[in-house]
Chain A
Amino acid sequence: MSEFFSMGGYGGYIWASYGVTALAMIVLLIATLRGLRSSRIEREQLEAVLQSRRPRRTKKTQQVS
């Protein structure tokens, strides 16, 4: 097992490469998902206000995510 992690003495370089790649890809995905969630909440709030103010207007609003 320790042989696997040491990678013939190059473990530090190899695991650093894989680690930084995994971290960057996960951070980008989470940041995107969080941004998507907050933007969806804000849009829904605004559309709810809009609906309450214009009860007669029953135009279907576009569904996003």
Chain B
Amino acid sequence: MHRFAKPSVFLKFTAPILPWLSALTVILIAAGLYFSLIGSPVDYQQGHTVRIMYIHVPAAWMGLFCYVGMAICGAMSLIWKHPLADICARATAPVGATFTALCLITGSLWGEPMWGTWWVWDARLTSMLILLFLYLGYMALVNAFDDPERGSKAGSALALVGAVNVPIVKFSVDWWNTLHQPASIVRMDGPAVDPSMQVPLALMILGFTCYYFVVLILRVRLELNERRIRALHLSGMFEDPETPASANEQAYEAGHNAEAKQ
């Protein structure tokens, strides 16, 4: 397990996977779009608005899935001090936040014609909004420190504490019987959705999941570049003015020099 935690190993493994994964993402989402917009029947009660389900449910799934991934990476980063675990958690947060926001927006657009309201303080909606705030809080926190090490500790702790919200989101519809309908896909006695609607749902869920892994690989590479740049700057090799130092680095240096003079 530890062997796979080296950034260089991650890069070597993911390089050949990336093009295939990208292609798979495009194929799955294209097929999912065809089935959700054209190939699937209208609902007997909701008419065409059931088509919103094919992006609303996968977005909700991704919001929770990414958070669980982020919390696991956070735990690994705290326990084993793996830089790669921390990098994966950081790379996951924007994707999870995006999907959580999309879940709330599409839910609103579905709620207005079907329930007659854009928003209610229902347990499911509120816990999902809290999930979005947890993502945003995590992103703000990890970037608030000059030292990535400290940022990752604080962020991982937040991700872990916030993980208690995931089961709350999942079971909120059973615990508080408010407006949002109960589970219809992941249930004890099998899905309650018609097979003709399960096809586009499954395609979209898989497509979104593959999209997440594509973005994850790219964002991990980005983060590794950033860390390498940082390490090079801090190595003291670039102290003359003609080398391009970012504004942040210059500010950091200035702060350092001021402290040294005191």
Contacts and interface: CB of A to CB of B under 8 A. Distances in A.
Contact of A43 (B7, B55, B219, B229): B229
B146 interface: no
B59 A42 contact: no
Contact of A24 (B47, B98, B112): B98
Interface string B206-229: 000001001100110110111011
Chain B contact residues (Cβ within 8 angstroms of A): what range?
35 or more
B222 to A, nearest CB: 4
Contacts of A45: 244
Nearest to A34: B222
B107 to A, nearest CB: 9
Contact of B106 (A17, A32, A39): A17
A49 B237 CA distance: 9
Main SS of chain A's interface residues?
A: helix
B102 A21 contact: yes
A17 B218 contact: no
A39 B56 CA distance: 34
B81 interface: no
B117 to A, nearest CB: 13
Contacts of A7: 47-49, 51
Contact of A62 (B8, B37, B222, B229): B8
Main SS of chain B's interface residues?
A: helix
Interface string B148-172: 0000000000000000000000000
Contacts, number: 106
B106 A47 contact: no
A7 B110 CA distance: 13
Interface residues of A, number: 35
Interface in A18-65: 18, 20-21, 24-25, 28-29, 32-33, 35-36, 39-40, 42-43, 45-47, 49-50, 53, 62-65
Contacts of A18: 33, 37, 55
Interface of B: 7-8, 11, 33, 37-38, 42, 47-49, 51-52, 55-56, 59, 94-95, 98, 101-102, 105-106, 109-110, 112-113, 211, 214-215, 218-219, 221-222, 224-226, 228-229, 232-233, 237-238, 243-244, 246
Interface of A: 4, 7-11, 13-14, 16-18, 20-21, 24-25, 28-29, 32-33, 35-36, 39-40, 42-43, 45-47, 49-50, 53, 62-65
Given A36-B221, A46-B232, 9 more contacts: A7-B51, A14-B52, A17-B106, A17-B110, A18-B33, A20-B102, A25-B211, A46-B243, A64-B228
12 contacts: A7-B48, A17-B55, A35-B222, A39-B222, A39-B225, A42-B225, A46-B232, A46-B233, A53-B237, A64-B224, A64-B225, A65-B221
